[in-house]
Structure 1
Amino acid sequence: MRISQCFSGATAVTKGLNGDYFLAVDKGILLIRKDGTEKTLIQLENRILDLTFIDSIIYGVGDNGTFIRSTDYGHTWDVSTLPTTGSMWSICSNKNGTVVTHGNTVLFLSLDFGNTWKTLHPFQGLIGSKPSIRSLFLEGPYVFVGTKVHRLHGGIWRVDLEHYETIRIKKDTRMIASILKHKQYIVSATGTCKGHKGTIEYCQATPTFSQTYEWETCESDCQEGCYLDLSESDGYLYTTTSQDEKGVGKVLRVYIDEKKVVPCAIVHGHGWRVSNQQSEFLVAGLYTSLYTNSQFQHFINH
């Protein structure tokens, strides 16, 4: 692809092999080849809000319980519906066949690559209204669950998939839009739809001897309303933001060791998702998706 190339507005993206990307556009999936050409792989009735590619399998989830899977690099697809009428914003998986996605307040767990599912209720012991799920990250026997805005039970919860134990490792009333592991840290992208309360925060993935997770915040030259996504490849960590008052979303590189985030591109609308291969990235923007390289600051205006 060219150093800077635009594509259709999209809601999700994940990298494939050898510089390819899979892009979820309006009710369909595109293959963006490394030479910059596009191929429509499938048309769908619902939006896909998250994609992941692992060990040659593509998984995706979206509106109205939609679950999609391809085991042959997008040539054919299995499309099914999980038991929720809501939007599924996150899916995570590993090479052993564990796949986790979510309903409003429940988790859907598969141990056979998405062929069969069981429903888990991680918040059933909580008093009062249950928090809605927004983001997931799978690490060993644990899935880390980020919630939408919730005054009482919001934050990040760690769910043990073997013993079905749930503990909260971060209390937060804002939305936890994305979680991943970078180096030895768990990193979260957080914010709200109102105000300028977005932050990138991180903690040691292995808690201290007191079994508490100590969170720190990265600094930024400008406050954002909400950080929406995180992507990491070979030490390069990126995040995206919701659109500002001018309708502009950003892509920023995150430097954990320096505790800072630095803008490197803008898109028209929310930067829903980003996926990178080292310093090159493709951001799925609401109105425009952009492929570029953070070593060259290319800004695409609306």
Structure 2
Amino acid sequence: MSTQVTPATQLGTIGIDDEPRGRPRGTRSPRLEGARRPSPRKVVTRTLLNIAAAVVFVMSVFPVYWMVNMSFTPTNEIISRDPSFVPLDFTLENYITAWTREAAPGQTDFPHALGTTVTVTVGVLIVTLLGLGIVYTAAVIPFTIWTLRGFVAGVPADLEEAAMIDGCTKSQAFWKVTFPLLAPGLVATGIFAFIQSWNEFTMALLMMKGYNLTLMPWLNAFQSSSVGGAVNWGAVMAGSTLIALPVVIFFLIVQGRMTGGLVAGAVKG
């Protein structure tokens, strides 16, 4: 009894590809194209999410843009009824005012008053700054502990045990193995603590009197000055821009390590 074997060339692609043989080689099957094409519902959802993200982005960036725009705008143009998105009369007068007026003491006469300041007021300054530092420390510590706990929990205990087996003490294992792995978390929490202390206003206003002001109360001092019966908003915006620049520059320098730290601390194991 003989068995006839059908050549593979006659079988074609039966069972493997049931698409018509006339379709050119290398082209995708219409059935696969339909499976890969997103549904209209997903397209609409993605479009709405993109629009919402764009709106949130504009709402977040516009105040910063408006602050910088007003810092380069003359005061009479700021208080006019028809504000412009671009300064019609570009000026640096607001920055000159923010940098040289009496609300920023010590820039010109600091070298002359250095000896008197150190010898007479150093005790009062230390006590005042120390009290403010204690308040800031008490406010920041809970946040840093809560954040760093995720990073510490993400470091396997086996690493310390392996280091101790190799001859390290427990403290040496921490400083040589665990602590370097916590560097991204320390950077991330340090940035948040720095920004929180940098932008703090209430306690600095209550505890720092006279000329011993931090940046936020110093900026608020501009609202007490007036030009033609109105607040000098141009100088306020110029001062705000000068205050924001160090934070922005510092964030741009360490943003890579900060992002890695936040991702590393998000998942344990």
**TM-score band, normalised by shorter chain:** under 0.3
Higher-Rg member (1/2): 2
| TM-score normalised per structure 2 | 0.23
Larger RCO, structure (CA 8 Å, separation 6 or more): 2
| TM-score normalised per structure 1 | 0.21
Larger helix proportion of the pair: 2
